[in-house]
Structure 1
Amino acid sequence: MFDVIPASLRQSCSSRVQEMPDNQIVAVADLARHDASVVRLWIGEGDLPTPVYIKQAAMDALADDDTRYSYSQGLPELRQALSEYHRRHWQVDISSDRFCVTIGGMNAVTMAMQAILDEGDEVLMPTPAWPNARQMIEIVGGVNVSVPFDFSLDGDISLDLDKLFAKVTDRTRAIFINSPSNPTGWRMPFEDMQRLKEFCRERGLWIVADEVYNHFVYDDEGPAASFLQICGPNDKLLVTNTFSKNWCMTGWRAGWVVFPKGMDQLFARLCQYNTTGVASFIQRACIVALEDGDEFIRQQVERCRASRDILVEGLSVLDNVTVFSPQGTFYLFFKVHGLDESSLETAKRILREAKVGVAPGSAFGPEGEDYLRICFAIDPELAREALDRLTPFLAALTDAPRGATV
């Protein structure tokens, strides 16, 4: 990435940034972003447009000249709407002054890490994991400590809490939990959430919970449990979220953080110095999404369920593929056995030869090598088309049966 920059400039650039790996998902997507013949399953966004009533709210706000600087922490009306949204879906009473509106989920994670990490502090993270979160820990001077998931031959994914706890050192500051998980679709059992809460309370550790995909669950009634249901207002808990997934607002760049009681001024300060806040007309649209968008979420989840079932059933019949049926999110993570090239090169070949855009498993850390991830937040008919293209390609990759281990 930096080999085209003159050496004199490279020496003056941040060493942390120079050492960051390129995002492999973007590397694949950039090869064919504008190729209409490609079925795009690489990036984590649905194929539906933002609902009309949400767009109309933004246009109305623009027509009213709602384009000035506003509260750094977010409009009071939006923070109140967030409080009511959490009460409605998780039966928790979170006061509006414990919310901070952010520039998408990525900015929410950024400020969460900025708020709690000093140089050299360690954050434990189950892996494979969302690469942006892994890199943000290092950008702010922290140290990412990977704790691999356990993958079984029968397609189950689990996290051994004893292995997680054994990784804690005197430099550990936080444990990062993304449940339901990108890319694996793993969902943390409620009893494990309680056990983790007690462990972190005893040792004074932070839990940073990325709960972006809580509505996207399939094997029972949603939404997925939130750490807000078992932690109090004084617990060391930071919950990050975004408007991107639930309401198809990826390009709007709006999200939020929930923080412990009394940290509002700290997060207001972080907003002031990071972004100066989210555009007011976007925040007006977010209020409408929260208040009027529950039915859209329900419809989108059912649509994802249908596409998930098509892809899981179709790929599971392949002898050289192990499918990990997701308990949540809108991602399908699967292992292709017997590959003679990296998952990145495999993803590029699938793009060229099958015209399907997938994410390489190695984008989510070395633990993801030999895996691929596809986003199924798509029309079920498009899922069938993707399956028709992928199946013969994957079957021809190797004649090797499932290996002895995954």
Structure 2
Amino acid sequence: MRRVVEQLEASRIREVANEGLGRDDVLKFWFGESDEVTPAFIRDAAVASLQAGETFYAHNLGLHELRESIATYTEGLHPARTASHWFDRLAVTSGGVNGLMLAAQTLVESGDEVVVVTPAWPNLAAQSLIMGAKVTRVPLRVQTDGARAGAWVLDMNALLAAITPATRMLVVNAPNNPTGWTLSAAEQRTILDHCRRTGTWILADEVYERLYFASDTANGAAPSFLDVAEPDDRVIVAHSFSKSFLMTGWRLGWLVLPPALTDAIGKLIEYNTSCAPVFVQRAATVALQRGGEVTPALVNHLRHCRDTLVPLLRALPGVTLAEPFGGMYAFFRLDGQDDCLAVAKRLVREAGLGLAPGSAFSPEAAGWLRWCFASRDTRRLGQGVERLSGWLQARPSGGQTRL
């Protein structure tokens, strides 16, 4: 076994979830997915495909019809360029995580330097480590006072200083999991201009682009590198059907690439998965064509979930939390609770509350907890806060919880 694989950390979120195995009384907010089932018309499209006998291989880059639908969808969000412009820059992947890994396989060699903005979903750093890269983390910093106390923000000077001509790739996830941090269009331009000078690739994980609650864009989506980059810029943008279309278990995503990379990614798909299943692609095509029936309502509901949960958490003593602008997570800190993994396990055992530990996302997020608020029934969110409140009140007074 390669040493880097042997040294990969197991998921700390699943480690917490294992504490609740076999228990029906746990309110589970640890995984990054809604508890709402994929809409029936999307499931029906997959069933129809299977009943039609579409059980064979497809094109490496995805079904023509699906790529056309993605191109049209992309034009709707980024109208400066037409759907035909986007079509030849698309590769359908077996999940967003597969797309991100394909990008790392395409660009990163052993010994390369990669910069990752953290906290972030751990795969974003691990994928480059698997390729043998040297990974430098540039942490967001926490605002400690003012109206946005508890918000995570980018230190642009620190990021630009970390990206040098020796930096092969920058990996950035915005809107961000777990913090809810987002990039502005101006910040994206600054980063892109700097990376043009250093020759650095940008791998932008924008899977939460539609789960955006600010009102500073005409299309309701978060700012995207696709709006500031030219076709031949060293920019790859990863997307997924998981979040915005309630399709986490379907494992389907796509990459937007410079045209020169499309064929290379197609070859890598052949060596990784050959292709995504046809029936899943048929379902995704319908999801895009009828996306207006899913995503806007989902975003409105998630905003309601956020606006339900955040004030309740803020009302608890010792909680530090800022309202997230994007994503589906409340990321908060409990005073005096630095060992968030141990705290998360205790919350499962003692309060029946399942949250993700911040240390799962980066060392600098130790002491923080992530609460996925994508719940069909917002009453569950209130019940969860009641359990957390009761657990906090039952703690021994003074300092750290005894573990």
- Give the TM interval when normalised to the shorter protein: over 0.9
Q: Does 1:177 align with 2:175?
A: no
Task: Select 1:126's aligned residue among 108, 117, 120.
Answer: 117
Q: Which residue of 2 aligns with 1:232?
A: 230
Task: Select 1:294's aligned residue among 286, 292, 295.
Answer: 292
Measure the CA separation in 2 of the matches of 1:150 and 1:361.
14
Q: Do the aligned partners of residues 223 and 66 (structure 1) sit closer, same or farther apart at CA in structure 2, a change above 3 Å counting?
A: same
Measure the CA separation in 2 of the matches of 1:256 and 1:126.
22
Task: Select 2:98's aligned residue among 107, 111, 115.
Answer: 107
Measure the CA separation in 2 of the matches of 1:251 and 1:137.
24
Deviation at 1:132, TM superposition (A): 1.3
Q: Do the aligned partners of residues 185 and 395 (structure 1) sit closer, same or farther apart at CA in structure 2, a change above 3 Å counting?
A: farther
Letter in 1 for 2:180: G
Report the count of equivalent residues: 388
Deviation at 1:170, TM superposition (A): 4.2
Measure the CA separation in 2 of the matches of 1:342 and 1:226.
35
Q: For 2:279, what is the secondary structure of its paired residue? A: helix
TM-score normalised over the length of structure 1? 0.92
Deviation at 1:400, TM superposition (A): 6.2
Q: Does 1:307 align with 2:279?
A: no
Point out the more displaced range, 279-288 or 171-180: 171-180
Equivalent pair of 2:185/2:228 in contact (CA under 8 Å): no
Q: Which runs of 5+ in 2 are unaligned?
A: none
Deviation at 1:89, TM superposition (A): 2.1
Q: Which residue of 2 aligns with 1:190?
A: 185
Deviation at 1:143, TM superposition (A): 2.0
Measure the CA separation in 1 of the matches of 2:330 and 2:199.
35
Q: Which residue of 2 aligns with 1:86?
A: 74
Q: For 1:146, what is the secondary structure of its paired residue? A: strand
Q: Which residue of 2 aligns with 1:30?
A: 18
Measure the CA separation in 2 of the matches of 1:306 and 1:345.
30
Letter in 2 for 1:214: E
Letter in 1 for 2:134: V
1:265-284 aligned within 5 A? 265-284=263-282
Letter in 1 for 2:194: F
Q: For 2:237, what is the secondary structure of its paired residue? A: strand
Q: For 1:262, what is the secondary structure of its paired residue? A: helix
Measure the CA separation in 2 of the matches of 1:356 and 1:365.
22
Task: Select 2:318's aligned residue among 312, 317, 320.
Answer: 320
Q: Deviations over 1:24-69 (max 9, x none)?
A: 0011112224422111100000011001010011111101111111
Letter in 1 for 2:129: E
Letter in 2 for 1:390: L
Q: Does 1:69 align with 2:57?
A: yes
Q: Does 1:150 align with 2:147?
A: no
Letter in 2 for 1:25: I
**Identity over aligned residues, as a percent?**
38
Equivalent pair of 2:167/2:198 in contact (CA under 8 Å): no
Q: Which residue of 2 aligns with 1:8?
A: none
Q: For 1:155, what is the secondary structure of its paired residue? A: coil
Measure the CA separation in 2 of the matches of 1:189 and 1:398.
43
Q: Deviations over 1:371-392 (max 9, x none)?
A: 0001001121211111111222
Q: Which residue of 2 aligns with 1:384?
A: 382
Measure the CA separation in 1 of the matches of 2:397 and 2:106.
50
Q: For 1:263, what is the secondary structure of its paired residue? A: helix
Measure the CA separation in 2 of the matches of 1:398 and 1:210.
42
Letter in 2 for 1:78: L
Equivalent pair of 2:42/2:287 in contact (CA under 8 Å): yes
Over 6 Å off, 4+ runs: none
Equivalent pair of 1:337/1:398 in contact (CA under 8 Å): no
Q: For 1:251, what is the secondary structure of its paired residue? A: helix
Q: Which runs of 5+ in 1 are unaligned?
A: 1-12, 402-406
Task: Select 1:246's aligned residue among 228, 241, 244.
Answer: 244
Equivalent pair of 1:320/1:398 in contact (CA under 8 Å): no
Equivalent pair of 1:238/1:259 in contact (CA under 8 Å): yes
TM-score normalised over the length of structure 2? 0.93
Deviation at 1:145, TM superposition (A): 0.9
Q: For 2:23, what is the secondary structure of its paired residue? A: coil
Deviation at 1:324, TM superposition (A): 2.4
Q: Does 1:372 align with 2:369?
A: yes
Measure the CA separation in 2 of the matches of 1:147 and 1:398.
36
